[in-house]
Structure 1
């Protein structure tokens, strides 16, 4: 499987859609996926907004639990790579990163305020 580096600077605003969750490698036994070094692999769902209207959600695997990430928070993704995969008639792209970290000073998205009021 070939890894393709992704330039995150060109992806626009990256925001956490679903907080980090341990990745399950076997749904029957609920076994948690581990990397080669024995660290738990986590999945973080991140929204990618490349233009004013189009938003995509990608799931990014990362070794070790990302700390301080909340849903709606702007995040920084370091070392993002994409992997094209195929299994029988199924195919897709998966993503892995060295780290997903919160952007300091960037508030999490909250409910919209009513116009003209505090």
Structure 2
């Protein structure tokens, strides 16, 4: 699986759409997915809006639970990487980041840019 670095400065305002949730490796047993080092993996749904175009939502995986992030809040995504994958007839793009943090001075109700 090839990784592709993503320039987040070109993505416009990034806003949390769904607060951090543990990523499940087995939904039946509720087992939480772990990274290579045994740390839990979380996902955060983030809205992306470039150049006043329509909004896209991407789900970003990150190791460890991101702290202080609420739905609607502007966030900073560090080290974003895209991975193209395929499994049989299915294919897609997954996203992973080194960190997702709240932007200082913003809350879920801040009007700091449309997203």
The TM-score bracket by the shorter chain reads over 0.9
TM-score for the superposition, normalised by structure 1: 0.90
TM-score for the superposition, normalised by structure 2: 0.92
Aligned to 1:26: 26
CA-based RMSD of the aligned residues comes to 1.0
What is the number of residues matched between the two proteins?
110
- State how far apart, in whole Å, the 2-side matches of 1:8 and 1:52 are: 16
- Tell me whether 1:3 sits opposite 2:3 in the alignment: yes
Aligned to 2:85: 85
Name stretches of at least 5 consecutive residues in structure 1 with no aligned partner: 111-118
1:52 is displaced (CA, Å) by 1.6
Structure number with bigger Rg: 1
1:86 is displaced (CA, Å) by 0.4
1:51 is displaced (CA, Å) by 2.2
Name stretches of at least 5 consecutive residues in structure 2 with no aligned partner: 111-115
Aligned to 2:56: 56
Q: Secondary structure at the match of 2:45?
A: strand
